[in-house]
Amino acid sequence: MSLFDDDFYSTRVSRKAVRSSEREGKSFSFGKPRRDGSWSNVRIALTSSLVSAVAAVTVFGLSVGFGGGGSVQKVNPAVATVQTGDPLERTIQAAEKVRPAVVSIINEQALSSMGAGADDLDEYGDEGMGLEEASLGSGVIFQKEKGKAYIITNNHVVEDAAAVKAVLSNGEIREASVVGKDSITDLAVLEIDSKGIDVVAEIGDSNGLRAGQWVMAIGNPLGLSDSLTMGIVSKTHRIIPVSLSQDGVFDWEQEVIQIDASINQGNSGGPLIDLNGKVVGINSMKVADFGVEGVGFAIPSKYAMPIVESLMEFGKVTRPYLGVYTMDLEQYWAQQANQTDAENSGLDDEDWLEDGEAAGDGDGTELPPIELKLPKDVRDGVIVLEAVGPAKDAGLAFNDVIVKLDKQPISSTMELRKYLYAKKKIGDKIEVTLYRDGEKQTLQLELGEKAEE
């Protein structure tokens, strides 16, 4: 069954309908004047009405700008396009425009049977170290420059890769290198040789999307390369909480486009295009749950492209760094409520968040039990588990509870991170309001740049 019903969506009128209308319709004619030169009252009235109508239309046309100083009524070009274009043909043309620029991404990792990870390649080299296909994804070529072609994809598509390959639309496999990646926005840029690549995708403006608008997802779902799916924009702006460290603690929020076009494993990193063949988003994720269908998400182009530009220029996204490992006060209260023995008062390393990021391996040091002294009305904030860098230099310490940044209330690690990344820059001064041993204090510090791991 086709997606569109031709009879319903077509703007053409069938010849049969025209002939039927001509047979049933009635012609209105003024006829000829009588031989004696006289006109009937009916004919005079009809002629007078016609002249009056023409005059009224002419005056109105002049007033709205057919010629003169009146204002011209603007027509939404998107609406006009939808009304006059054949939906079936537009989808075909849009797909043909972008498909040659869509590639499949192969993430290769060290053979698990050898007990080696990607880091071991640095020590042993590629020789003698087997690689296997770990995952598949998609990407889109968006730029060609100086003999290189650049591809946008998702960070999770190339995460932990020992080697990355790009498969062109013609089936050719090329070695790819990672220019830069960012786990927070889940974006990455790859580089391949541009020889023989003639098509580069055009980036569109996701700000112009409207709910109900037709869009298409192109990619490599389930290893089926060069696949297209189609649907509508379900919601132009949807906020999705994400756990960057995959520990079940939501420490970031991603603003995405919600679509009902089918998104499956392998579609990640591929383009979401409009019916003009422009990339308006990067397919990123879907809701994978029993009984859930048609709920997919894409990173809007307006958010993706500034990140891509930073990755192209610096190989990373530079962000301000406070230097605190934290735990949400809300989580602490929940633990206290459910605590059954003294052992639960400690924290594992994976519970630590550094400016909202996973703390990593840690040094194995056991934290002393958290015993907070807070006013009864303080229920929201973040607990400092360890201070490093700028925070340590400013005097922040274990068990401090941060409640404000620059007088902006902070109730969670997510809010702390969002404030830093949205409102501050590296080198900016920031005021930290906190409680220490029940006493309210204020510290000033200068935000730094986080060093590479």
**8 A C-beta contact, residue 320 and residue 449:** yes
Residue 285 one-letter amino acid: M
Q: In this structure, what CATH number is given to the domain that contains residue 115?
A: 2.40.10.10
Give every CB contact of residue 260 below 8 A, 6+ residues apart in sequence.
231, 232, 234, 294, 295, 296
254 with 348, same domain: the answer is: no
**What is the DSSP pairing of strand 227-242 with strand 320-321?**
unpaired
**Residues with active-site annotation:** 156, 186, 268
Q: Does one domain contain both 429 and 308?
A: no
Q: Are residues 236 and 280 in the same domain?
A: yes
Instruction: Tell me, yes or no, whether 220 and 303 share the same domain.
Output: yes
pLDDT of residue 222: 85
Beta pairing, strands 163-167 & 148-153: unpaired
Quick one: pLDDT at residue 44?
Answer: 57
Domain count of the chain? 3
Q: Based on the domain organization, do 244 and 163 belong to the same domain?
A: no
275 and 385 together in one domain: no
Q: Does 434 map to a domain? A: yes
CATH number at 403 reads 2.30.42.10
Indicate the residue among 193, 228, 256 that finishes a domain. Answer: 193
Looking at the structure, do residues 161 and 106 belong to the same domain, yes or no? yes
Which of 326, 321, 335 is CA-nearest to residue 434?
Answer: 326
| Residue 351 maps to a domain | yes
Question: Does any domain span residue 50?
Answer: no
Distance CA 229, CA 262 (A): 6
Residues 246 and 283 in one domain: yes
Model pLDDT, residue 28: 38
How, if at all, do strands 357-358 and 401-405 pair? unpaired
Mean pLDDT by 10 residues, the chain (453 residues): 31 40 42 46 58 54 43 40 62 95 95 54 54 92 96 95 95 96 95 96 96 95 90 94 76 90 91 97 77 83 96 94 92 78 51 52 50 90 94 95 96 92 94 95 93 62
Residue 105 lies in a domain: yes
Beta bridge partners of 429: 446
d(CA 338, CA 276): 55
The answer to whether residues 185 and 221 belong to one domain is: no
Let me know whether 445 and 324 are in one domain: yes
Tokens at residue 437, please? 């041993």
284 & 390 share domain = no
Alpha carbons 105 and 176: distance in angstroms, whole number = 9
Alpha-carbon span 409 to 434, nearest angstrom: 11
Residue 221's closest CA among 315, 135, 304, 150? 135
Residue 151 forms part of a structural domain: yes
- Select from 292, 314, 336 the last residue of a domain: 314
- What pLDDT sits at residue 338? 77
Give the model's pLDDT for residue 288: 59
In a domain, residue 135? The reply is yes
**82: in domain:** no
Is residue 247 included in any domain, yes or no?
Answer: yes
432 shares a domain with 331: yes
Task: Identify residue 333 by its one-letter amino acid code.
Answer: W
Reading the block at residue 244, the tokens are 């960057």
Q: Which domain holds residue 118?
A: 99-193
The 3-state secondary structure of 404-429 reads: EECCEECCCHHHHHHHHHHHCCCCCE
Both tokens assigned to 404: 């404000």
Q: Which of 168, 193, 218 is the last residue of a domain?
A: 193
